Structure 1
Amino acid sequence: MNNTMQQYRIVRKRFGQNFLIDQYVIDRIVSFIQPLHNQAMVEIGPGLGSLTKSIIKYIDRLTVIEIDRDLVRQLSEHPFISHKLNIYQQDVMTINFSKLSHELGQILRIFGNLPYNISTHLILHLFTYINVIRDLHFMLQKEVVNRLSAVPNGKEYGRLTIITQYYCKVVRLLEVPPQAFCPVPKVNSTLVRLVPRTNILHPVKNINMLSYITYVAFNQRRKTVRNSLGHLFKPQQLVEIGIDPKQRAENISIENYCKLTNLFYTKSLKT
């Protein structure tokens, strides 16, 4: 076993990392990201730096966020790339990306091979900083990307779909087999690009209310919306928006969820 493979096997597993080892896949990812030297590039979870080393060839400085102290030590001691790295050793969920954007002097291009156990929560967290993000490129579990890119009337369509597509255009880029990683995961992966919308298609008055309404609806997704949302809206209010009360959560369009949110907001002002 060569030294590189030994490294992949001995690193701690508690953060759920599966490291990219297929150079062809890495090169394809770089070609999709197209990093430029004058951009503020941020990598989440660089691991042992396989993608990092390929990206950094094209830029002068790269900010990386890594929670694992052993991986941070290896990156900081790397003879060829350490001088180009701005390393944050901390949980990415504690990063203030607005502050980071201000420090770097421009909006951010964020990418990474995300651990499966944090991907959904992290994406939702990043949306709270959407105004300082140019784009996002993530390697994710294929099932997560299916949810991000879903359309109504399917089982993948849900709260994550709605919140993601409210903020971003979703572009599937590359299907990646388990063999491209070490250790080999039990799932397929997909590279996805999320591009913040310059104009929100169906603006809501309060994004937290959209989050709440979709949470309530999809928490009881087998019920009709007459029942799941009955404590929030009267059947006639649903009909006036264009929603059949006999429909289920997965049958409601993003536009209509936004209409419900604005109706709920208006109602809250009167109480």
Structure 2
Amino acid sequence: MNRPLQSLILVGSLALVQGCAALGKSNSFTLTADLPPDFAYVASVYYVPAKGQTCTVPRADNLVPQFNREWRTEYKPDAQIEIRRTRKGCELVVDHVELEINATYGKDRGDFGREYARVSVREELPEAVKGAFDAAGKSEFSGQCQWLFRTSGGLRRLVKILDCKKMDVDGEVLKSRPFAAYTLDELPGKTVKMKIKLADEERPAVGDTWVKVPGGWKRCMGDNFADQYAFCYGNYKDFSTFRMPGGRICTIYPGCTEDKEVTP
């Protein structure tokens, strides 16, 4: 084989490899997260037929990929999200990524809170809604999570509920859940980061059940210790103990000073 022909084949092969690499890169984006300690996310990716497609794909053939499904033991902050794929001859595009935010507060398996966030993807979006990328191809959306505490059961065990809200660019906490939206053509090769901060203070999940005191909150007694609702109803003198997730019985949350269990 003569040298010019060999050179032509080499150049053509290199272009083909580069083209395939570019195509592979252009069909995904990186989803990542900056979360507080003891937090993790699970990402579920949903696909729909691309614009102009008249086909439909049964759910059994259009399964929802999940990342960090085993978030307690195999959590990884980065996930590669495929943008376009074909199932049963039907071209599909990513429609949205549902983000399940999980946070643990105790050692028991049930000692965790869960909230949700979302990344939506559309063919077109108004500029006011569309997420922006920096020169490095990175975009970030923010949220704040807060623990809401209450007591549950006959032992008045303290449990927590996770409440997460979107934060704007000025750091103001909004009423909606954390959310971002992008167009299909701006996502290839980019990185989208969900950044979550934890509120400095926790607050009661139910109003008129705890009273603010130095060091934290005291649980109103209600009619008696068996009263599951135990609203204060103006009685700010009679309080009950409660059981922490680790088993310790306390009178103030979170400033518990008791170092051993006592009988309610």
Higher strand share: 2
Greater C-alpha Rg? 2
Bigger relative contact order, structure 1 or 2, given CA contacts below 8 A and separation 6+? Answer: 2
Structure 2 length as normaliser, TM-score? 0.25
Q: Give TM-score scaled by structure 1 length.
A: 0.24
More helix, by proportion: 1
